[in-house]
Amino acid sequence: MRAHTRRRMFASIATVIVASMALIGCSSGSTTAEGEPDTALTVGLLATPGNLDYTTTAGAAIPQALLYNVYEGLVKLDNDGTIIPLLAESWTVSDDGLVYDFLLHEGVAFSDGSPFTAESVKFSLERVKDNWTANGPAYLDPIASIEAVSDTEARITLSKPSNSWLFNMSGPVGTMFTESGLADLATAPIGTGPYTVSSFKTGDSLVLATNADYWGEAPYMTDVTLRYFTDATAQTNALLSGDINLISGISQFQLVDQFKSNTDFQVLEGASTGEVTLSMNNASDAFSDVRVRQAVMYAIDRQAVMDTANSGYGLLIGSMVPPTDPWYDATLADLYPYDPDQATELLAEAGVSDLTVAFKIPNLPYAVAGAQVVKDQLAKVGITANVTALEFPAVWLDEVFSGHDYDMSLIMHSEPRDVTAFAAPTYYAGYDSPAVMAKFAEADAADATAYIELMKEATTTMAEDAAADWLYLQPAISLADADLLGVPKNTPSLALDLSTIAR
């Protein structure tokens, strides 16, 4: 309860500050021509949603737009990655760690007018197991039962203690749905959030309007347009010309410097969970031998890839764990130093020569730039990488992620704490290690100290097995109009939380 009270108090104080700054005109452009507060916001993004149903369509683009804005769950992550209450006012946990009792806010309704109650919690979470095919349905496997004790009390019982399940509830799988809205998830989402979807044009824009009956504090920005660009230069030009107000997570960092000395804009640098990953299909003929995967690791100069794709911005990591996770191990960044001779020796040991691989990448700037460096470096050790840029998200998701029809790819994994999903044998990486999966399961049920150590052991094994080449961690750099306040600096979740932004 205290955490919720602090959150509301902070929001109230922030609202007063924002209102005061708006009244005194904190910067040019903060009011309309008629002298009214400027409550319209246009955000420029690159990765466009193919549809609006993140229960069946993987990727970060849909939850980036909808999570916390249109859809809400019992909990959310704040900008520092801390779990805080949302639709749940508070909760208690039994001594054995199995029973979670959630007290829900009263008077909450979905945007179609239907009430949100504990039955909504039961309905939404129970359908994850059988009706979700994307964005981590296995994250809720620890749940044994869900009970609606009363309209405002939901009881969730776990089959075993789990360190991760409540954190995972802050993501897409924790979304609350109304049964009447399921038929139109792809085009007309219905949630309890501060915004509703006004219009959606695939590949062009998504327009959000404020939810007039929102149960919480109304957001400052009443009209939000998410505009999708295929080119980062066009995206930054749109910001310079005033066509958009914010670029959340710029992808071509050589474009940043022009904004640092321009007082009309602000450059926000924060932390992300985006691991830029050179994926190798462990189940393919090309990479089923660990020695071949390790050869690729030694063949790639990850600093050169980061310098080319990111103008040097980022952090070399070596595993699918960012520094914000307590089991991060910085030493794994040095596990496979750039050593083409060692790569050649491993390929010879594996009896592999003149290897040709299908290198299918998304048509995103960092992937296109990075793939060329990878291709050139692999050629030096006798591996020919045939690069094909696929339309993202639709074609890449269909061929690579769902169809597993590839040998190698290069993609950023943005979802927080998703290393356990990457290790699942049915995942697109094809990494099949029962020992690692058992270690993850043991970690999830362990006490807090053992949890961290076991997670570190499992993720270290994955790195040693060269399950993938985790190249570097993408920094979170956003560019915004100088008068924008409350722009999320970090990206601890998949969501771009628009409710905190004001002028």
Whether residue 409 lies inside any domain: the answer is: yes
Binned at pLDDT 50, 70 and 90, residue 21 comes out as very low
Whether residue 457 lies inside any domain: the answer is: yes
Query: Residue 276: CB partners within 8 Å, gap ≥ 6?
Result: 306, 309, 314, 366, 370, 410, 411, 412, 470, 471, 472, 473, 474
Binned at pLDDT 50, 70 and 90, residue 33 comes out as low
Answer yes or no: do 170 and 306 share one domain.
no
Domain boundary among 159, 179, 199: 179
- Picking from 68, 103, 84, 82, the residue whose alpha carbon sits closest to that of residue 5 is 84
Tokens 């794994």 -> residue: 332
pLDDT at 11 over 70: no
State residue 133's pLDDT score.
Answer: 93
Whether residue 315 lies inside any domain: the answer is: yes
**Side chain identity at residue 2, one-letter code:** R
pLDDT at 22 over 50: no
Whether residue 45 lies inside any domain: the answer is: no
Whether residue 92 lies inside any domain: the answer is: yes
Answer yes or no: do 285 and 403 share one domain.
yes
Rounded Cα distance between 445 and 116, Å, is 31
Answer yes or no: do 325 and 464 share one domain.
yes
Rounded Cα distance between 53 and 66, Å, is 10
Binned at pLDDT 50, 70 and 90, residue 275 comes out as very high
State residue 9's pLDDT score.
Answer: 36
Whether residue 280 lies inside any domain: the answer is: yes
Write out the H or E segment, with its range, that includes residue 379.
helix 365-379
Answer yes or no: do 308 and 433 share one domain.
yes
> Do strands 195-201 and 205-210 pair parallel, antiparallel, or not at all (unpaired)?
antiparallel
Percentage of the chain beyond pLDDT 70 is 93
Domain boundary among 157, 179, 201: 179
State residue 6's pLDDT score.
Answer: 35
pLDDT one-digit tens code per residue, 85-143: 999 999 999 999 999 999 999 999 999 999 999 999 999 999 999 999 999 999 999 99
How many Cα atoms sit within 13 Å of 284 on the Cβ side? 24
CB contact at 8 A, 303 and 345: no
Answer yes or no: do 289 and 422 share one domain.
yes
Answer yes or no: do 464 and 321 share one domain.
yes
pLDDT at 284 over 70: yes
Answer yes or no: do 285 and 165 share one domain.
no
Percentage of the chain beyond pLDDT 90 is 87
Binned at pLDDT 50, 70 and 90, residue 27 comes out as very low
- Residue 70: other Cβ atoms inside 10 A: 23
Question: For residue 393, what is the domain's CATH number?
Answer: 3.10.105.10
Cα angle 154, 158, 159 (rounded to 5 degrees) comes to 150
State residue 445's pLDDT score.
Answer: 94
Query: Residue 103: CB partners within 8 Å, gap ≥ 6?
Result: 88, 89, 90, 91, 152, 153
State residue 406's pLDDT score.
Answer: 98
The SS3 of residue 377 is helix
Write out the H or E segment, with its range, that includes residue 263.
none
State residue 351's pLDDT score.
Answer: 97
Answer yes or no: do 300 and 420 share one domain.
yes
CB contact at 8 A, 469 and 297: yes
pLDDT one-digit tens code per residue, 380-433: 999 999 999 999 989 999 999 999 999 999 999 999 999 999 999 999 999 999
pLDDT one-digit tens code per residue, 168-227: 999 999 999 999 999 999 999 999 999 999 999 999 999 999 999 999 999 999 999 999
pLDDT one-digit tens code per residue, 316-362: 999 999 998 999 999 999 999 999 999 999 999 999 999 999 999 99
pLDDT one-digit tens code per residue, 43-90: 999 989 999 999 999 989 999 999 999 999 999 999 889 999 999 999
Answer yes or no: do 312 and 450 share one domain.
yes
CB contact at 8 A, 172 and 185: no
Indicate the DSSP class of residue 240.
H
Answer yes or no: do 410 and 302 share one domain.
yes
Domain boundary among 152, 179, 206: 179
> Do strands 40-45 and 223-228 pair parallel, antiparallel, or not at all (unpaired)?
parallel
Arithmetic mean of pLDDT over the chain: 92
pTM attached to this predicted model: 0.83
Rounded Cα distance between 92 and 108, Å, is 21
Answer yes or no: do 174 and 276 share one domain.
no
State residue 465's pLDDT score.
Answer: 98
Q: Domain tally for the chain?
A: 2
3-state DSSP of 45-74: ECCCCCCCCCCCCCCCHHHHHHECCCECEC
Question: For residue 128, what is the domain's CATH number?
Answer: 3.90.76.10
Average pLDDT over every residue of 458-466: 98
Return the beta strands (E) in 290-421 as ranges. 355-362, 383-390, 408-413
pLDDT one-digit tens code per residue, 374-385: 999 999 999 999
| Structural domain that includes position 434 | 271-473
Binned at pLDDT 50, 70 and 90, residue 442 comes out as very high
pLDDT at 474 over 50: yes
Rounded Cα distance between 182 and 112, Å, is 12
Answer yes or no: do 282 and 401 share one domain.
yes
Whether residue 499 lies inside any domain: the answer is: no
Rounded Cα distance between 365 and 232, Å, is 7
Average pLDDT over every residue of 270-291: 96
Whether residue 192 lies inside any domain: the answer is: no
State residue 251's pLDDT score.
Answer: 81
